[in-house]
Amino acid sequence: MPAFMPRKLTFILIAVWLALPASLARSAEPVTANDTARFLAGLSPSAGSPLAALTNDGLWREHEHYFDSIFERQDAKLSKVRAFSQSQLTDKHDTLLYFFSGPDFLYATNLFPNASTYVLAGLEPAGDIPQLTSLSRPAVAETLHNLENSLGTILSYSFFITQKMKTQLSTGPVYGTLPVLYVFMARTGKTIHEVNFVGLDSEGNVQDLGPVGDGRKAMQSASAAKGVKIVFSDGAGPHQTLYYFSTNLADDGVRRSGFLAFCAKLGPADAFIKSASYLLHSGGFNTVRSFLLQHSALILQDDSGIPLAYFDSKKWRLQPYGRYVGPLSIFGRSYQPGMAELFSRNATPIDFGIGYRWQRNESNLLLAQKTAAATSDGEIAPTSPVVPATDGQPRKPRRKRVESDTTGSLGCTGIRGIFSLCSSSATRSNQ
């Protein structure tokens, strides 16, 4: 501002700027979900959007530059993830099931870009995003700051730190997983066409709970599984649908929620599991583990997913990628000798890091592809999967067992919040 500008005029201009969001809210048309997503992601909204005027603020410009910088670095890594998907995941299906995901659309779309339906699930609420033009300038600034802080971890390590996410996105008018989903969609070039809150009845039927902007009312629904439905496209490509459900995936909750009934209606699916706190190694998540084994045609996971011993060698073809060095010390009871043997003999290198062992030379992925239909509707008991020997002939590995958490300590308690977004909450529900 020029030094010669009259002091009175300076105060008037400041007052006008601070009042700008409220005046826009009264005079402008509602902002589209796509423009809101772009604004939160540090990308310019459409020229005619009421949010376009707010992008002249220095705070938003700083937000734009920060996100440009971190997503440019992230894309260098994700380009390797996309290359892995194109070369190794050649038999993908229309539906992706990503349980224990939180709002991690980033890895879902880079690994499975052409799914027609994505189903993400955790305990954290979908949250809400009101019309940003109705918020005060400090509230908008706080929202942008919270997004920057909360996304720093997954963009650096590939997983969320739950306690930070809980603190940074649990308060204020913009909260929950929805704003993170918006940012990831905008920054991966998606166009959002429709957003609605949804719930599920006990039979897995979808119920419309109303538009975004009235999230607290929607969350008062009696549905055991509540969340959000987002219809989007990749540029001019076909419409795709993402569901994020806030629901208890532990045995005592998932059996009553209708969530698995909903997933079953989507037909054969791919499944992805990453940074899942080794919950599927414990006895409290038998139902979800059995469901994934029975309904998935392909499962891609790190070692925090389904224990190796549950994959029947007569039904699954296994291909390891990367290097198995065992879990972090806080998850030490989930070490799998069979994984160490499988990876030492038959692993294909990967040039990116993923999961808790996010350093490139310590990360692991296991691709399991079903070769025959399941023969039982019950729990698939642990077996001894065939491990290829160095001479190419299959042989049985030495005897091993699945480590289970008989004390209920797998999860949040005493583990300092290093988990995927939903895993710690799922554990809390059982304490």
Q: For residue range 286-308, what is the model confidence (pLDDT) as tens digits?
A: 999 999 999 999 999 999 999 99
> What token pair was written down for 169?
């996105």
Lowest mean pLDDT, pick from 19-28, 85-94, 121-130, 401-410: 401-410
Q: For residue range 336-385, what is the model confidence (pLDDT) as tens digits?
A: 999 999 999 989 999 999 999 877 789 999 999 999 654 444 445 555 44
Percent of the chain with pLDDT over 90: 61
Lowest mean pLDDT, pick from 36-40, 42-46, 123-127, 196-200: 123-127
Average pLDDT of the residues in 65-88: 94
Place of tokens 């992230």: 74
pLDDT of the residue at 286: 97
Pick the most confident of 171-180, 338-347, 403-412: 338-347
Lowest mean pLDDT, pick from 145-154, 224-233, 317-326, 389-398: 389-398
DSSP strand E in 283-378: where? 296-301, 316-322, 364-370
| pTM for this predicted structure | 0.82
For 251, residues 6+ apart whose C-beta sits below 8 A from its C-beta are 284, 285, 286, 287, 288
> What token pair was written down for 352?
């990116």
Cα(234)–Cα(244) distance, rounded to whole angstroms? Answer: 18
Average pLDDT of the residues in 151-170: 58
- Report whether pLDDT(396) > 50: no
Cα(354)–Cα(247) distance, rounded to whole angstroms? Answer: 25
- Report whether pLDDT(391) > 80: no
Percent of the chain with pLDDT over 70: 74
Quick check: 296 and 91 in contact, CB under 8 A?
no
Q: For residue range 9-53, what is the model confidence (pLDDT) as tens digits?
A: 334 434 444 444 444 444 457 899 999 999 999 999 999 999 999
Binning pLDDT at 50, 70 and 90, where does residue 223 land? Answer: confident
pLDDT of the residue at 392: 37
pLDDT of the residue at 124: 84
- Residue closest to 305 by CA, chosen among 374, 257, 230, 367: 367
Q: Return the exposure string of 231-261: e unless at least 16 CB atoms fall within 10 Å of the residue's CB, then b.
A: ebebeeeeebbbbbbbbbbbeebbeebbbbe
DSSP strand E in 102-259: where? 117-122, 190-200, 206-211, 225-234, 239-246
- Report whether pLDDT(390) > 90: no
pLDDT of the residue at 224: 78
Q: Which is more confidently placed, 162 or 151?
A: 151
* Residue 91 one-letter amino acid: D
- Report whether pLDDT(134) > 70: yes
State which H helix or E strand residue 340 sits in.
helix 337-346
If you average pLDDT over every residue of the chain, what do you get? 81
